[in-house]
Chains A and B, each alone.
Chain A
Amino acid sequence: MSIWEYANPKKFMQTSAWALPWVTGLAAITLVAGLVWGFFFTPEAANFGTTVKIIYIHVPSAMMAINIWVMMLVTSLIWLIRRHHVSALAAKAAAPVGLVMTLIALFTGAIWGQPMWGTWWEWDPRLTSFLILGLFYLGYIALWQAIDNPDTAADLTGVLCLVGSVFALLSRYAVNFWNQGLHQGASLSVDKQENVSDVYWYPLLLCITGFILLFIMLVLTRTRTEVRLRRLKALEARERLA
């Protein structure tokens, strides 16, 4: 069996119909469990006080904002190189979810930053690159809406996705590239000394899993809608010609 089988819309619809209830159930369980654990059953931190509870929504959403763009980059490249329609539609379906994740990361970051740094916003490398990533999401969605021909739209948004990847990478590594600004370094690390302590790490891991599963659920649902919409437009066009 090859992964390219899923480029066939019929195969994609069959497989996603089977997977969707499982992914939805798992997303709901992990997300609720992680957020309840983090919000109700973790202690306040010495340096952050009770604002540490914001970590359970801020870190997963920021991770998703960057990684959704990476997923869009991969699916856009598959479209540009192999012309598989489902992959272009998956990229289109993922963009609004990525925008929402970026907005959550920006809003929760500002709300967290105010009591910790004394300011809602600072033109810090990571914050600024995240804002630009959000603008790229908006531009990407607008470009899909602005072009009638779906193949042309997929081509142009694919190129925009390639360009925007620079900012997705910058958002991830800004604190490493420029050792300045207010934002702290990465909260998560394979090095146990640098990673957040276990009491915060386990519920955070559950929340990250929940956000990933929620994204998979949303992107499957939205891609299925895009596949149906394309078939609907094809049938309408055929009816007009008849």
Chain B
Amino acid sequence: MIPELGKYAVSVMSAYGVTLVLLVGIVAQSLWRAARVRRALDAQEQRTGARNG
């Protein structure tokens, strides 16, 4: 399935590997932080709502 990359196989695969790691990293970090902040805000709004009746 992988095309014949010849003597440049290591260069091409490592370039794609580094890119994949960095892109997956920034997407995962963005989604994880979004979920964490959203949970914290929901909890805070519930507390504020409960206190204000």
Interfacial residues, chain A to chain B (CB-CB below 8 A) = 39-40, 44, 49-51, 53-54, 57-58, 61, 96-97, 100, 103-104, 107-108, 111-112, 114-115, 214, 218, 221-222, 224-225, 228-229, 231-232, 235-236, 238-239, 242
Contact = CB atoms under 8 A, between A and B. Distances in A.
B3 to A, nearest CB: 6
Interface in B1-40: 1, 3-9, 11-12, 14-16, 18-19, 22-23, 25-27, 29-31, 33-34, 37-38, 40
B19 to A, nearest CB: 5
23 contacts: A40-B3, A50-B5, A54-B11, A54-B16, A57-B19, A58-B15, A100-B23, A104-B19, A107-B18, A107-B19, A111-B15, A115-B11, A214-B27, A218-B26, A218-B27, A221-B34, A225-B34, A225-B38, A228-B38, A229-B37, A235-B41, A235-B48, A239-B44
Which 3 A-B pairs rank lowest in CB-CB distance, beginning with the nearest? A108-B15, A111-B15, A57-B19
Given A54-B11, A221-B34, A232-B40, A100 B25 contact: yes
A104 B17 CA distance: 10
A225 B25 contact: no
B23 A108 contact: no
A228 B37 contact: yes
A100 B26 contact: yes
